[in-house]
Structure 1
Amino acid sequence: MRILLIEDDPRLNEALCCALRQEGYEVDACLNGQEGLYYMETGTADLVLLDRMLPGLSGEELLQTRRKAGDTTPVLMLTAMGTLADRVTGLDLGADDYLVKPFAMEELMARIRSLSRRGGGFHVDSGELAWGDLTLAELSCQLRGPGGECTLSRRECGLLCALLRHPRQTLGRSQLLLSVWGPDTEVEDGNLDNYIFFLRKRLKSLNSRAAIQTVRGVGYRLTMQSEDSL
């Protein structure tokens, strides 16, 4: 699935690109409305993340232009303007969804998945991640293993999703924090360790062979225990 990101804040633009690519999306990124308009006219994007307040050609003007041209590409508008009137205006302009900054990365990913389920002509996956003896339903946060199933918290689900997408790969602490909490949320470093501790208990309760290994000074990785170690 190809996402077009139009966001003028360089730091946020880079952070979102990193998080989206980590989730497996292809991303084209723009820093202004004129460049975004060019990319939208090519018709290569399956979904657009559009900042409302852009220099030059604003997000509102860009969206109106494309909707008048018959462009039905799903658009998720990102903005710091969060009043009811602002949200109504954004939706009336043609946005399919509206997310107020600052936001958690897990909410952004959930909204992207929600828009994909509405159709629009692009691929929709099953919403499940499976590896080894584990299956995680992303939307419901239901985790299944040999010993049954349980419901994870949203943070637990976000962390496990990241690990399941990159099994046996070491994911850095900053990468995991960005993926789950987002770029605009202040998080104490110890929070990550706490949620990893909770996840390890979940895996043990499900009698799973999957294990979250600590890579000292770097982060964590998802591995598979041998039968003899159980």
Structure 2
Amino acid sequence: MKLLLIEDNPTMQTTLRRSFERRGMQVLGCEDGSRALALWQASLPDAVLLDLSLPGMDGLEVLSQARAAGLETPVIILTARGTVGDRILGLNTGADDYMPKPFDLDELEARLRALVRRSASTESSTRGPAWCGMHVDKDSGAVYFDGRPLELAPREMALLRAMLGKPGHAIAKERLFELVFPGESQVQPEAIEVVAYRLRKKIAHTGAQLVTLRGLGYLLKADS
């Protein structure tokens, strides 16, 4: 498990880091709210432990901006603010759980692992084909790369979904045309080449390549 610990108290951060690393977790630490969001986005942890009283940016604001950016990582708030109103505010902002300080480490670990299991179970039930950091959301049909939706036109999205269904395998142009232009008999078959050209440029940053195989169709492969 990769854990992001956002805590400005050096003693608390050191204690938690050592405890969780002994329990087999990889722990990334951050003590400043203004840097926390960038580290969260870059590291894509399995879970986040978030203190509320942070320098630079309050923990609730960090959480609010993370959720607005589409980061769905499970979050447990750790704070000395133990009133019911504070707990409700934290949960309504997007936290998954809340533990007031002081807390029991064994209970915290149990809650962390339960949240990650639940998140993984939910994710697997809503994910479609996945490859090279990209995955298809079964419910919306959107394609995500490293947790963020790719900005694609509908036909580009349809082509990428088709390619993600069989990565590393050639798919005939005729079959792709049927999937990208369903029932559109007035469209010329060569239109699939235009969609492929546009998609190729938009996924270049993902490490995936859409390769043209003359006489066969297209193939999605990892960029070597």
TM normalised by structure 2 equals 0.53
| Secondary structure at the counterpart of residue 36 of structure 1 | helix
Give the match for residue 34 of structure 2. Answer: 34
Instruction: For residue 86 of structure 1, give the secondary structure of its aligned residue in structure 2.
Output: helix
SS in 1 for 2:76: strand
- 8 Å contact 1:53–1:79 — kept in the other structure? yes
For residue 16 of structure 1, give the secondary structure of its aligned residue in structure 2: helix
Match of 2:52 in 1: 52
Give 3-state SS (helix, strand or coil) of 2:4's partner. strand
Letter of the 1:114 partner, please give it. A
Aligned-pair distance for 1:35?
A: 2.1
The 1:71/1:39 distance shift into structure 2, 3 A limit, reads: same
Aligned length: 123
Of structures 1 and 2, the one scoring higher in RCO (CA 8 A, sep 6+) is 1
Q: Which residue of 1 aligns with 2:207?
A: none
Where 2:5 maps in the other structure, the secondary structure is strand
Give the match for residue 110 of structure 1.
110
* Matched AA of 1:110: A
Structure 2: distance between partners of 1:11 and 1:122: 35
The equivalent of 1:84 in structure 2 is: 84
Q: For each residue in 1:204-223, what CA deviation from the matched residue of structure 2 results, as whole angstroms up to 9, or x when unmatched?
A: xxxxxxxxxxxxxxxxxxxx
Mapped to 2, the partners of 1:121 and 1:71 lie a distance apart of 17
Q: Which residue number in structure 1 is paired with residue 95 of structure 2?
A: 95
Q: List structure 1 runs of 4+ shifted beyond 3 angstroms.
A: 120-123
Amino acid across the alignment from 1:100: P
The percent of aligned pairs where both chains have the same amino acid is 45
| SS of structure 2 residue aligned to 1:5 | strand
Q: Considering only CA atoms, is the larger Rg found in Structure 1 or Structure 2?
A: 2
Residue type matched to 1:93 in 2? T
What secondary structure sits across from 2:98 in the alignment?
strand
Equivalent residue number for residue 169 of structure 1? none
**1:134-172 per-position Cα deviation (integer Å, ceiling 9, x unaligned):** xxxxxxxxxxxxxxxxxxxxxxxxxxxxxxxxxxxxxxx
CA contact 1:4–1:27 (8 Å) conserved in 2:
yes
The answer to whether the Cα contact below 8 Å between 1:72 and 1:120 also exists between their aligned partners in 2 is no
Shift of 1:122: 10
Provide structure 2 residue ranges, at least 5 long, that are not aligned to the other structure: 124-224
Q: How does 1:37-186 map to 2 (within 5 A)?
A: 37-120=37-120
Amino acid corresponding to residue 40 of structure 2 in structure 1: M
Which TM-score applies when normalising by structure 1? 0.51
Partner of 1:166: none
Q: Give the conservation status (yes or no) of the 8 Å contact 2:78–2:100.
A: yes
Superposed CA offset, 1:16-53 (max 9, x none) = 00001011000100111122111111142111000011
Unpaired stretches in structure 1, ≥5 consecutive residues: 124-230
Asked whether the equivalents of residues 34 and 55 of structure 2 are also in contact (C-alpha less than 8 Å), the reply is no
SS across alignment from 1:3? strand
Q: Which stretch shows the higher mean deviation, 39-48 or 1-10?
A: 39-48
